[in-house]
A and B are shown apart, each in its own frame.
Chain A
Amino acid sequence: MTPAALIGTVAATLIDGEALFDTAVASLAAGVFVALTGSLAIYGFATAAEMQRVGRDVAAVGAGALAVVASLAFMGALGVGLYLIISG
């Protein structure tokens, strides 16, 4: 067995790689989702205000709807995070 393979075997014995991987994936998914929904909500609200200012009411309603949906998703993500901790 090569030294690298030996280190790999020892590490695999000592470290719960699956739990670590799950933690990293859950963190990545949560972080990206929060950034995405938060940014879309801000984009929606800012665009809706801008469209309303220039008199494009239909576009303003569309952007407003995007803002509301993204805000709900953002708050939902925070809620899921809380639930996971409480149920843990």
Chain B
Amino acid sequence: MDGDVVLVIVVATALVFDFTNGFHDTANVVATSISTHALSPRVAVGMAALLNFAGAFISIQVAATIASDVVDAGAITPTVIFAGLVGAISWNLITWYFGLPSSSSHALIGGVVGAVIAAVGTAAVDGEGILGKVLIPAVLAPIVAFVIGAIAIIIAYRICGRLRPGPVTRGFRLGQIFTGGMLALAHGTNDAQKTMGVITLALIANGNLPSTGFDVPTWVIVTSASAIALGTYTGGWRIIRTMGTRIIKMDSAQGFSAQGAGAAVILASSHFGYPLSTTQVIAGGVMGSGAGKRISAVRWGVAGNIVVAWFLTLPASAAIGAACYGFVSIFGDGATGPVILSGLAIFLGLTLFAQRIRRGQPVPQV
């Protein structure tokens, strides 16, 4: 009975994480379209929500990686996963509060790994899987996106640079609708699956699914897709401002190039089953499209803050995940610990939102 209560709490927490993932990462998908006026904010966010929902149904490669290649599925419990999720959500909210586009994916992986280490030590962590499927791609992906963004903007300026600006700007804005759509779809295929992977892991840990040869249940896919779409529609305007206007002052050709680079990297990575950070990829594309025009066009101070947040994400969320597991385990193996921690987390979350609302809604006038 206690196990089922914990499982319900884990699934609910995973869906909250999925919501914050959509809420937090909407910025990546829509910032470039909004800042170049290719789409109005409401249309951009609505389109991204719909395509994120659709993208979640397209592929489950990444979910399989999360469920089997990061930690030993047989050695963890729903309580461990719960603690990891709280670690990830906490880090997402902290970086959202400061307007930093950090990686929800790495927050999730870090949180789960930290909780696993606190629970059973490092033996249950698949170091090979984390290195090969998470860390190396995490370093390479933004670099590849940076290079593609830079090449793409050079191509765009070479071909269209001498034409009258009016039709060219309109053309690139139209192109941004397509590349932005692909990006939203790619985001859905990559990010919604992380939650699917975690819920699947919890179902395995609770004995509802076999540890090998499992299929991700349909209800997991539908609820994960819905949560990320809802989060996306709600939107994270603070991060949109950072991504869309603070790294570089973006024109429509740069927006088109950055989105194309991001979509290409994320779609290719999803196809090969790498759980990438969409945030890092798109930020890499944005920086590349700025640097391709002029190195000094990139505000390297802002870019540096973002990179620092990337490096902090895995250890910080792992530390929070481990601390959460330590707190929950004080109350034993039952549902008491997760229930108390959930209550505390809800209270803190509501306090944070109330404080933010009192200070005024940080929606930029775009």
Q: What is A's interface to B at a CB cutoff of 8 Å? A: 14-16, 19-20, 22-24, 26-28, 30-32, 34-36, 38-43, 45-47, 49-50, 74-75, 78, 81-82, 84-86, 88
Contact = CB atoms under 8 A, between A and B. Distances in A.
A27 to B, nearest CB: 4
B222 interface: no
Contacts of B43: none
B210 interface: no
Contact of B163 (A20, A24, A43, A75): A43
A53 B153 CA distance: 28
B226 interface: no
B301 to A, nearest CB: 27
Contacts of A23: 137, 268-269, 271-272, 274
Contacts of A20: 136-137, 140
A28 B59 contact: no
B172 A14 contact: no
A32 B158 CA distance: 13
A35 B152 contact: yes
B160 to A, nearest CB: 5
Contact of A31 (B137, B140, B265): B265
A26 B144 CA distance: 11
A87 to B, nearest CB: 9
- Secondary structure dominating the interface of B: helix
Task: State which size class the interface on B falls in.
Answer: 35 or more
Which 10 A-B pairs have CB atoms at the shortest separation, nearest pair first? A42-B171, A35-B152, A31-B148, A31-B264, A30-B264, A46-B167, A39-B159, A26-B268, A27-B268, A27-B265
Contacts of B66: none
Interface stretch (B175-183, B331-339, B341-349, B357-365): B175-183
B93 interface: no
Given A27-B145, A34-B179, A49-B167, 19 more contacts: A27-B148, A27-B269, A28-B144, A30-B264, A31-B145, A35-B151, A42-B160, A42-B168, A46-B160, A46-B163, A46-B164, A47-B163, A75-B178, A81-B263, A81-B267, A85-B267, A85-B270, A85-B271, A88-B270
21 contacts: A14-B131, A15-B131, A16-B132, A23-B274, A27-B144, A28-B144, A28-B151, A30-B264, A31-B149, A32-B148, A39-B159, A42-B175, A43-B160, A46-B163, A47-B163, A75-B178, A81-B182, A81-B267, A84-B267, A85-B189, A88-B270
A71 B268 CA distance: 22
A86 B185 CA distance: 12
Contacts of A15: 131-132, 136
Contacts of B178: 74-75, 78
Interface stretch (B5-13, B109-117, B253-261, B320-328): B253-261
In the complex, which of the residues A15, A42, A74, A86 has the most CB atoms of chain B within 10 Å of its own CB atom? A42
